[in-house]
Every structure is written in structure tokens, then in C-alpha cells.
């Protein structure tokens, strides 16, 4: 049972443009949603999160949007930079405070 | 502040052999997690500790995997005997008790290749 899904395995974006990564979930009990970034041979690093009581959270170039009725969240990166090239994981947290991860989306920023 | 430390970074073994991974969480972090990340997939939780007690081990293949956190600080994950499908990166993560956002702090991982 895949509770968190990222349906796009990869995404290619031109430098300076907007990158939009999408994530869907099935469990309405999740109370926090997070995005992690992962470079090769490194562990995932936290990027940005959003509480289920909010619909938007912004941090610099990164904005996460949450649509609870659609059980959908998205990460917007603008403007995209070459250093943003990485695998991005969507994750969700419920009362047990463990994270359930999506499959990841590989983002490539082209110069 | 020092991050989550894991060792070894890489391990290659033959099937049916055993392997152990070690993790030292961030100082003061009471909760420790072991995740398995198979190539092309997202991390999957194997076991969660709160201090030295197990909170969740429902997805740990207990016939071959074991984990302990005896003194509530560092932890060891063991696989015996290993199977080909155990080839993965084993990620250790920790979080402080007071955190309520779900954020986990991950180590760099231990990459296991089973031949």
C-alpha cells in the first residue's frame, strides 16, 4: 500500500525557470508533509515542510503547496539553479512521528 | 553540532553471509530510525526506537534482520543471512523528542551490495 506517491520519476527544467514537483497521498491522518533533497552518496537532507492546517509555506526559492481535498502537495522552486539538481522525496508524518516516503523525483536543471 | 554518524559507508558481501551496520545519532536525540532504500525507491522504515525501546518494527524482516539500541544512544542493525534483495542503502536517522514537524536528520547511509 503506497501511501505517498510521486508519479514522475524524473523532471528536466531549464535554469532560471520554475520547477514543480508533485506528490499525492492517501492517508488523511497525516499531519505534516516534508520535502527532502538527496544528492548521490549522501543522506537525504530536509528542505521544507508544511503542516496539514496550512495550505502554503514559503522559504526563499522554495514553496510548498498543500491541497487537502485533493490529497496533493507540490514543491515549487523558482528560479531553478544547477545546484538544485538532485532527487527530491516527498514524505508524510502521522502521530507515530515516523516518515513515509514517496519514490522520489530526479530533478535535472539544464544550463 | 555533529550529524548522524554511520559506518561502514560501503560493504560488499556474498549471499548467506552476515553484516552489521552501526549508527550514532545526534547527541540528545531520543528517537532513532533505520530505513532501507532500494535503488529507485524511497526510503522504507525498518525500525524505530525511542531511547532503548522499540516503537515500531512492523516492517523489519525479523527472520534475518535484527537491531538493538542497548544504552539508548548508538544502534546496530544486523542482517544474517543476507539475500540478494537486501542490496540497498541503509539509512539511520534521528530526531529530538520535542520536535513536532516530523523532520528527521539522516546520516550518509551504508551501501550494501550482496553478490
Q: Do B101 and A101 touch (CB under 8 A)?
A: no
- What are the chain B neighbours of A100 within 8 Å (beta carbons)? 45
> Binning pLDDT at 50, 70 and 90, where does residue A2 land?
confident
Per the prediction, chain A carries an average pLDDT of 94
pLDDT band at A26 (very low <50, low <70, confident <90, very high): very high
Partners of A32 on chain B (C-beta within 8 Å) are 100-102
Neighbours of A71 (CB within 10 A): 17
One digit per residue, pLDDT tens: chain B, 115 residues?
689 999 999 999 999 999 999 999 999 899 999 999 999 999 999 999 998 899 999 999 999 999 999 888 999 999 999 999 999 999 999 998 777 677 899 999 999 999 9
**A9, closest residue in chain B (CA to CA):** B40
Question: In the prediction, which pLDDT does A96 show?
Answer: 61
Residues 6+ apart with CB under 8 A from A69: none
**Candidates A49, A89, A103; nearest CB to B102:** A49
3-class DSSP state for residue A83? helix
| Residue in A with minimal Cα distance to B38 | A103
Number of other CB atoms surrounding residue A69 within 10 Å? 5
Q: Cα(B34)–Cα(A80) distance, rounded to whole angstroms?
A: 32
Once rounded to an integer, what is the mean pLDDT over residues A36-46? 94
Nearest Cβ partner for B102 among A9, A42, A93:
A93
Read off the pLDDT of residues A62-84 as tens digits, 9 standing for 90 and up: 999 999 999 999 999 999 999 99
Q: Give yes or no for a cis peptide into A79 (omega within 30° of 0).
A: yes
Asked if B41's CB is within 8 angstroms of A91's CB, the reply is no
Burial class (CB in 10 A: 0-12, 13-18, 19+), B34: buried
* Grid cell digits, residue A99: 516518515
What pLDDT sits at residue B44?
Answer: 96
Pair B104, B93: CB distance under 8 Å:
yes
Q: How far apart are CA B79 and CA A81, in angstroms?
A: 40
Amino acid at each position: 500500500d503506497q501511501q505517498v506517491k510521486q508519479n514522475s520519476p524524473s523532471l528536466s527544467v531549464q535554469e532560471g525557470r520554475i520547477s514543480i514537483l508533485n506528490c499525492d497521498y492517501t492517508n488523511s491522518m497525516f499531519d505534516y508533509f516534508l520535502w527532502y533533497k538527496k544528492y548521490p552518496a549522501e543522506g537525504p537532507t530536509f528542505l521544507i515542510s508544511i503542516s496539514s492546517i496550512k495550505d502554503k509555506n514559503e522559504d526563499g526559492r522554495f514553496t510548498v503547496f498543500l491541497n487537502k481535498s485533493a490529497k496533493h502537495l507540490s514543491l515549487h522552486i523558482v528560479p531553478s539553479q544547477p545546484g538544485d539538481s538532485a532527487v527530491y522525496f516527498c514524505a508524510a508524518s502521522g502521530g507515530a512521528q515516523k516518515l513515509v516516503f514517496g519514490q522520489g523525483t530526479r530533478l535535472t536543471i539544464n544550463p | 553540532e555533529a550529524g548522524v554518524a554511520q559506518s561502514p559507508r560501503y560493504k560488499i558481501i556474498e549471499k548467506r553471509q552476515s553484516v552489521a551496520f552501526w549508527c550514532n545519532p545526534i547527541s540528545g536525540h531520543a528517537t532513532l530510525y533505520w530505513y532501507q532504500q532500494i535503488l529507485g525507491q524511497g526510503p522504507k522504515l525498518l525500525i524505530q526506537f525511542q531511547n532503548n525501546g522499540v516503537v515500531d518494527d512492523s516492517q523489519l524482516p525479523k527472520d534475518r534482520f535484527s537491531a538493538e539500541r542497548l544504552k539508548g544512544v548508538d544502534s546496530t542493525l544486523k542482517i544474517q543471512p543476507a539475500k540478494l534483495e537486501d542490496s540497498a542503502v541503509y539509512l539511520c536517522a534521528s530526531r529530538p523528542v520535542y520536535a513536532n514537524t516530523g523532520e528527521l536528520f539522516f546520516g550518509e547511509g551504508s551501501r550494501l551490495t550482496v553478490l
